[in-house]
Amino acid sequence: MSLSVTCYSGHKGDERPIRFRVGDVDHMVEEVIDQWYGPDDAYFRVRTDDGGIYLLRQHRGAAESEWSLESQHEGAQ
């Protein structure tokens, strides 16, 4: 499954996800519910426009950050 993430870029570059695409389905981030940081990663629990809850992980250890989808809970379709 492919994942593509578009972020809001403020003072720190990629500050938070604003939309993402899983496979061929687009999701707009309505709310960042929670976020936390590890030594090489950032995690974002987000609510999307369809009511789904997703946990996105940004791997910051590489030269260019990579994203993975850690979990999802589908909302009302």
Give the ranges where 1-77 is alpha helix by DSSP (H).
none
Q: What pLDDT does 2 receive?
A: 87
Is 8's pLDDT higher than 90?
no
Note the pTM of the prediction, 2 decimals: 0.84
Q: What pLDDT does 62 receive?
A: 67
Q: Parallel, antiparallel, or unpaired for β 25-37 and 41-48?
A: antiparallel
The whole-angstrom separation of Cα 48 and Cα 41 is: 21
Report pLDDT digits (tens) over 19-75: 999 999 999 999 999 999 999 899 999 999 999 999 999 998 766 678 999 998 876
